[in-house]
Amino acid sequence: MEGQDEEQLRFLLAHDRDPFCRWEAGQRLLRALLTALYAAAADESKARAPSSPKQSRTDESWHPSQADLDHLATVPCLAML
């Protein structure tokens, strides 16, 4: 399932006969969604960041680790279905 685009993953999630492949497709879609949401929030945060070095440094200091993304990907997300 490596290198598949979102459309292919949605198809697998909806139609694959193998439950693990459906689950894996859902996990990859969720990870992509969470990464996109994080990027959008970070961009919005930077746009509104004050010019104070203290506050802008805080906005840029945290980035989700792979472990954070893996944990978030295990949370059920019905909005994607």
Pure H helices in 1-81: 6-15, 19-48, 53-61, 66-73
Whether the full predicted model's pTM is greater than 0.75, yes or no, is: no
Is residue 39 classed as helix, strand or coil in its secondary structure?
helix
Q: Where are the domains of the chain?
A: 1-48
Pick the more confident residue, 38 or 69. 38
48 vs 4: which has the higher pLDDT: 4
pLDDT digits (tens, 9 = 90+) for 7-22: 999 999 999 999 999 9
pLDDT interval class at 43 (50, 70, 90): confident
